[in-house]
C-alpha cells in the first residue's frame, strides 16, 4: 500500500517550493520527528519517490524539489547559491509549521542540510548527510564531471526514452531510467552549473563544528566521493559525528543497494526503516 499523500507548493524564502509528502502523522508516526529529504544536484523530488514511500511507512516525510529542479521555482534571476538553498530548507520547515524535524540530504542535499544547520533553526533535531561532496577550495575535485550532467540534461530537453538514458546510468532499473528521462529536463541548467561550481568554491568543512544536533554521515563503499581520510577529517571537526559505510554501493546509494541504504540508518531517526515484508 502506497504511503504517498500528495504533492504541493508552498511560498517560502520568497520562492515557490514544491514537495511530495508521504506518510502523514497517524499512528506511531505522530510521536516521531518529521523527515525532510533533500535530493542531489539533478534529482527532482519524484525520482526519490521510492525512498519517500519507505520513509512514509515510519515518518511524516517531505521530499523537496530544490530550487531550479522539478516543479520548484526557476529563473535566470534566481540565486542558486548554497546559502540560498539552505535558507530555503529552513523557511520550508517554518512555512509548514514543523515543530520537530530531521534533515536527510543526499550529495548536494547533504551540503545544503549542513549549511542549513549552521543557522541553528528551531525544530531541527538531527541530520543525515548521505555521501556529501567534500570538495572545496584547495581540495580535490568532485569526481563526477560536468559534461555528464550537461549532456544528459540536453538529451532530456530534446525528449528521450529510458533506453537513451541508460548510457548515463547503466546500472539503474527500467523504471528509474524512465523517471530520469521524464523529469531531468526540469533541472534548470543555470542551477546545475551554479551548484557544480559551488562544489569547488564553497567550504563546507567550516560548517561541521557549527552543527549542534546529532549527525550521521553515511558514505558509499564505491564512488570516491568520501574517502576514509575525509571521514577522519570530519571527525576531527565534529567529534560526535556517527559514520556508516554502505557496502556494494556507489554514490547513488539507494539506487545501488536500497536495503543497505535503509539499514544504514539504524535507529538514528528514532525508528528503524524496517525491510520490506
Residue from 23, 29, 24, 21 nearest 45 by CA: 21
277 residues of the chain, pLDDT tens digit each: 999 999 999 999 999 999 999 999 999 999 999 999 999 999 999 999 999 999 999 999 999 999 999 999 999 999 999 999 999 999 999 999 999 999 999 999 999 999 999 999 999 999 999 999 999 999 999 999 999 999 999 999 999 999 999 999 999 999 999 999 999 999 999 999 999 999 999 999 999 999 999 999 999 999 899 999 999 999 999 999 999 999 999 999 999 999 999 999 999 999 999 775 5
Q: Provide the pLDDT for residue 224.
A: 95
**What 3 state SS string does the chain have?**
CCCEEEEEEEEECCEEEEEEEECCCCHHHHHCCEEEEECCCCCCHHHHHHHHHHHHHHCCEEEECCCCCCCCCCCCCCCCCHHHHHHHHHHHHHHCCCCCEEEEEECHHHHHHHHHHCCCCCCEEEEEEECCCCCCCCCCCCCCCHHHHHHHHHHHHHCCCHHHHCCCCCCCCHHHHHHHHHHHHHCCHHHHHHHHHHHHHCCCHHHHHHCCCCEEEEEECCCCCCCHHHHHHHHHHCCCCEEEEECCCCCCHHHHCHHHHHHHCCCCCCCCCCCCC
Spans of all domains in the chain: 4-143+203-264
In this structure, are residues 105 and 112 in contact, taking their beta carbons and an 8 Å threshold? yes
- pTM higher than the cut 0.95: yes
- How far from 256 is each of 17, 63, 171, 222, CA to CA, in Å? 28, 20, 8, 10
Q: Provide the pLDDT for residue 276.
A: 55
Q: Provide the pLDDT for residue 274.
A: 75
Q: Which CATH architecture is the domain 4-143+203-264 placed in?
A: 3-Layer(aba) Sandwich (3.40)
Cα separation, 26 vs 9, in Å, equals 22
- How far from 199 is each of 20, 49, 98, 143, 196, CA to CA, in Å? 26, 25, 29, 11, 5
Amino acid at each position: 500500500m502506497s504511503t504517498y499523500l500528495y504533492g504541493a507548493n508552498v511560498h517560502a524564502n520568497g520562492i515557490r517550493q514544491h514537495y511530495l509528502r508521504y506518510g502523514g502523522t497517524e499512528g506511531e508516526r505522530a510521536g516521531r520527528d518529521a523527515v525532510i529529504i533533500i535530493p542531489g544536484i539533478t534529482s527532482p523530488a519524484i525520482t526519490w519517490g521510492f525512498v519517500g514511500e519507505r520513509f512514509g511507512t515510519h515518518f511524516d516525510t517531505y521530499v523537496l524539489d530544490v530550487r531550479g529542479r522539478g516543479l520548484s521555482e526557476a529563473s535566470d534571476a534566481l540565486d542558486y547559491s548554497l546559502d540560498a538553498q539552505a535558507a530555503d530548507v529552513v523557511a520550508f520547515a517554518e512555512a509548514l509549521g514543523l515543530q520537530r524535524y530531521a534533515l536527510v540530504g543526499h550529495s548536494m542535499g547533504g551540503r545544503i542540510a549542513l549549511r542549513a544547520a549552521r543557522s541553528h533553526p528551531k525544530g531541527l533535531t538531527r541530520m543525515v548527510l548521505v555521501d556529501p561532496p567534500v570538495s572545496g577550495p584547495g581540495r580535490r575535485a568532485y569526481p563526477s564531471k560536468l559534461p555528464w550532467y550537461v549532456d544528459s540534461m540536453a538529451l532530456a530537453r530534446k525528449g528521450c526514452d529510458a533506453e537513451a538514458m541508460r548510457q548515463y546510468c547503466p546500472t539503474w532499473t527500467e523504471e528509474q531510467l524512465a523517471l530520469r528521462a521524464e523529469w531531468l529536463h526540469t533541472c534548470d541548467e543555470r542551477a546545475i552549473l551554479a551548484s557544480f561550481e559551488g562544489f569547488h568554491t564553497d567550504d563546507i568543512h567550516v560548517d561541521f563544528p557549527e552543527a549542534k544536533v546529532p549527525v550521521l554521515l553515511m558514505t558509499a563503499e564505491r564512488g570516491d566521493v568520501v574517502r576514509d581520510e575525509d571521514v577522519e577529517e570530519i571527525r576531527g571537526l565534529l567529534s560526535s559525528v556517527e559514520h556508516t559505510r554502505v557496502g556494494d554501493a556507489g554514490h547513488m546509494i539507494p539506487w545501488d543497494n536500497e536495503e543497505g541504504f535503509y539499514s544504514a540508518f539504524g535507529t538514528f531517526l528514532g525508528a528503524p526503516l524496517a525491510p520490506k515484508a
